Amino acid sequence: MKKDPDAILNSPEFKALVARQWAVSAVLSIIMLGAYFGFILVLAFNKAVLGTMLTEGLSLGIPVGLFVILLAWGLTGIYVFWANDKFDSAVNAIRQSLRRD
Amino acid sequence: MDQFTTTIGQPNLTSILFFFVFITVTMFITYYAAKRTKTTADFYAAGGGISGFQNGLALAGDYMSAASFLGIAGLVSLKGYDGLIYSIGFLVGWPIIMFLIAEPLRNLGKYTFADVVAYRLSQKPIRIAASVGSLMTVCFYLIAQMVGSGSLIHMVFGLQYEIAIVFVGAVMICYVLFGGMLATTWVQIIKAVLLLGGATVLVLMVLYRFDMNPVHLFAAAQAKYGDKVLAPGQLVSNPWDAMSLGLALMFGTAGLPHILMRFYTVPDAKAARKSVFVATGFIAFFYILTFIIGFGAMTLVGQDVISGMDKGGNMAALLLAEVTGGTMFLGFIAAVAFATILAVVSGLTLAGATTLSHDLYVNVFRGGRAAEQEEVRVAKIATLCLGVVAVALGLAFKGQNVAFMVGLAFAIAASANFPALVLSIMWRRFSTLGAVFSIVTGTTLAVVLIVISPTVWVDILKNPTAIFPLKNPALISMTGAFFAGWLGSVIKRDERAESLYAEQKVRNYLGVSVE
């Protein structure tokens, strides 16, 4: 298969693939960064909030921390689910069309 | 709860037995792996034959060190909630690896992340610079692990520090030298299963005493030590400090050579993604377990007993194992901690040896042309040398406070490795000079700033005040590395690299070469 990389780069299919991959990666990264640094900033500026007791033996900080941990896992799960299905089929479609040319 | 006398420090029959079984099994695996390790692809990447799930477990194994198991459980037992903040920092880098690094790393590289940075830039300068970043990350991490392992084995088994270090070094060299990535991967997998299994049993035994309800456990801790154990304490007080440490942990994870090279052990991108998902899940689960173990130790063992044995609290998990399951269970958990040390240092040594042989020897000294067998031989010599260096460093730093070196390793990874990797993938104009500038600036700033920071300047060198205010330098060193990368690329453009960008980008997304 011999093809000019610039031509592929400028093809609408490839551009759409890149744009979608970027959108998914960027949104998920921003959610993660926002959640983690948000958590850190609350700790730095108003840590008393996280020490609020919800019930005996449970402060607000514990479910919040657990949420950040589960969010990190959940976001990687969303990415894998999207990439192994949608992204890979788009990649395969472009590869197929390159082979045909 | 009565004060109890611990048997920690005395030879423990169960422990020796479990450990003997572990060594025997892993040595058998190494023997079989050695027969299947012939080519460079076998030695560096287990021939790409590891499944996504297996690699996920091995990644988790590489990341869950004895320091994080014993150290974080200890931190929680003495400081309560603050320990959780610390573990969260170590987890959040994983999604970033997945979203920004996994795909290009897999599609553009062969064995190391320097393959990706050097893809369209001039090989020699990039390989040299990237090797420096890589080797420094590996060495600082290795020193911290070796010194930690020597003291741990001394404390738990009563074995002399020097003997412990030499023993760890010898076993680790055997795994890597003969079994390469295949043996190292299986050692990691076995260790990860043992560690996760052991920690789970420990948590169940603790929760059994609290109606299987963690909130009842926290309530008992609160009743004993007050509300403060459930609230954030002194760990995060200066926002700049917190941001800087956060950056180091988040982006440093995405720049650790021994983690990045694992992406080449699986057959395709699908499996690589799956392995990050599996690893993140297990690591998340592990940190939740250590949090409960910490509170279990605080409540059932007591803070005075824990800090009486070791000021940093490193014995908390082991003491808890003894209180809940007797000497036999203590023996098992101690053997698991020992296995953990062996596995982590093996992974680091393999990553360092790969950098020495693949990046430095083959691509710098031999201009990319070396016979397969020659490269494998060099990789093995590098393993042996690095193993000996690790033992020597472990002996040299005996009794030193080396805890800061893990933070330094993450700071270098975030400043030297991560910016160059990201810029080479995403920015067409990124030039050879820019990459060298970025890596050199990142490494230098990280090392110099940590020396004049409160972590070393005040805590270790005992000066009254620090010259640089932040405990971790990543905020400055990482930004500096990005800036230097931009500056170098503007000063000296690289026409050839720019013309190759289209090809690189197509391959980055499609995973195939089009020409």
* B87-109 residue pLDDT tens: 999 999 999 999 998 889 988 88
CATH fold of the domain at B13-510: Sodium/glucose cotransporter (1.20.1730)
- Confidence (pLDDT) at B13: 82
Q: Mean pLDDT across the stretch B387-391? A: 95
Q: For B177, phi and psi rounded to 5 degrees?
A: -60, -50
Q: Going by DSSP bridges, is the β-strand pair A58-59/A53-55 parallel, antiparallel, or unpaired?
A: antiparallel
How does residue B358 score in pLDDT terms, banded at 50, 70 and 90? very high
For residue B44, give both structure tokens.
Answer: 């560096």
Q: Which residue of B has its CA nearest to A38?
A: B243
Angstrom distances, CA of residue B100 to CA of A26, B92, B348, B429: 9, 13, 23, 19
DSSP 8-state symbol, A70 = H
Q: Closest residue of A to B88, CA-based?
A: A69
Q: Is residue B514 less than 8 Å (CB to CB) from chain A?
A: yes
Asked if the model's pLDDT at residue A1 lies above 70, the reply is: no
Tokens matching residue B19: 């450990």
**Inter-chain contact B269–A88, Cβ cutoff 8 Å?**
yes
Measured CA distances, B6 to B18, B27, B40, B235, B326 (Å): 20, 32, 48, 30, 10
Which residues in chain B are contacts of A43 at CB distance < 8 A?
A: 85, 232, 235-236, 242
pLDDT at B134: 94
Condensed to tens digits (0 to 9), the pLDDT of residues B167-206 reads 999 999 999 999 999 999 999 999 999 999 999 999 999 9
Residue-wise pLDDT for B27-66, tens only, equals 999 999 999 888 999 999 998 889 999 999 999 999 998 8
Mean pLDDT of B256-270: 92
Of the candidates B98, B230, B502, which has its C-beta nearest A9's C-beta? B502
d(CA B296, CA B311): 18
* Mean pLDDT value of segment B1-25: 78
Average pLDDT, integer, range B356-381: 90
Q: How many residues does chain A have?
A: 101
- The DSSP output letter for B461 is T
For residue B90, give the nearest of A41, A59, A77, A72 by alpha carbon: A72
Per-residue pLDDT at B1 exceeds 50: no
- Cβ–Cβ pairs < 8 A, chains A and B: 170
DSSP notation for B377-441? HHHHHHHHHHHHHHHHHHHHTTT---THHHHHHHHHIIIIIHHHHHHHHH-TT--HHHHHHHHHH
Contacts of B456 (CB under 8 A, 6+ apart): B404, B450
Pairwise CA distance, residues B477 & B415, whole Å: 6
- Closest approach of chain B CAs to the CA of A82, in angstroms? 11
B365 CB within 8 Å of a chain A CB: no
Q: At B238, which amino acid appears?
A: N
Q: Does the pLDDT value for residue B231 go beyond 50?
A: yes
Which residues touch A62 (CB under 8 Å, ≥6 apart)? B81, B84, B218, B230
Helix (H/G/I), strand (E/B), else coil: B435: helix
Nearest chain A CA: its distance from B428 CA (Å): 13
**Chain A nearest C-alpha distance from B64 (Å):** 15
Q: Is B404's pLDDT higher than 90?
A: no
- The pLDDT assigned to B266 comes to 92
What is the structure's pLDDT at A78?
Answer: 96
Tally Cβ neighbours within 10 Å of residue B323: 22
Cα B72 to Cα B249: distance, rounded to the nearest angstrom: 15
Q: What is the pLDDT of residues B320-352, one digit of tens each?
A: 999 999 888 998 998 898 889 899 999 999 999
A86 and B CB contact within 8 Å: no
Across the interface, do B502 and A6 touch by the CB < 8 Å criterion? yes
Give the model's pLDDT for residue B19: 85
Which A residues, 49 through 78, put their C-beta within 8 Å of a C-beta on chain B?
50-51, 53, 55-59, 61-62, 65-66, 68-70, 72-73, 75-77
| Distance from C-alpha of B428 to C-alpha of B132, rounded to nearest angstrom | 24
Q: Under a CB-based contact definition with an 8 Å cutoff, are residues A82 and B251 in contact? A: no
A92 has pLDDT over 90: no
pLDDT, one tens digit per residue, over A47-75 is: 889 988 998 889 999 999 999 999 999 99
Q: What pLDDT does residue B515 have?
A: 43
pLDDT in tens, B409-460: 999 999 999 999 999 999 999 999 999 999 999 999 999 998 898 888 888 8
Contact: B216, A41; criterion CB under 8 Å = no
Domain encompassing residue A30: 5-100
What's the pLDDT at B3? Answer: 55
Looking at chain B, which residue has its C-alpha nearest residue A43?
B236
Q: Which residues of B touch A79 (CB under 8 A)?
A: 95, 98-99, 273, 277
Contact check, Cβ <8 Å, B238/A28? no
Q: Average per-residue pLDDT in chain B?
A: 90
Question: DSSP H helical segments within chain A, as ranges?
Answer: 5-10, 12-45, 47-50, 61-82, 88-100
The complex's ipTM? 0.93
Percent of chain B with pLDDT over 70: 98
Taking residue B238's Cβ as centre, other Cβ atoms within 10 Å add up to 12
Helix (H) or strand (E) holding A53: strand A53-55
CB distance from A33 to chain B under 8 Å? yes
Nearest to A25 among B99, B503, B506 (CB): B99
Task: Sort out which chain A residues have CB atoms less than 8 A from B95's CB and list them.
Answer: 28-29, 32, 72, 75-76, 79
pTM for the predicted model, two decimal places? 0.93
Exposed, middle or buried by CB within 10 Å (0-12, 13-18, 19+), for B368? exposed
Query: What's the average model confidence in pLDDT over B233-251?
Result: 85
Label residue B4 by pLDDT band (50, 70, 90): low
Cα→Cα distances B165→B15, B315, B330, Å: 18, 19, 22
Residue A54: DSSP 8-state = E
**pLDDT above 70 for B2:** no
Query: Is A72 in contact with B220 (Cβ distance < 8 A)?
Result: no
Contact B277 A25 (CB under 8 A): no
Residues written for chain B? 515
Q: pLDDT tens-digit profile of B128-167? A: 999 999 999 999 999 988 988 888 888 877 889 999 999 9
Q: Please indicate whether, in this complex, the C-beta atoms of B96 and A29 are within 8 angstroms of each other.
A: yes
CA distance B218 to chain A (A): 5
Q: Please state the domain count of chain A.
A: 1
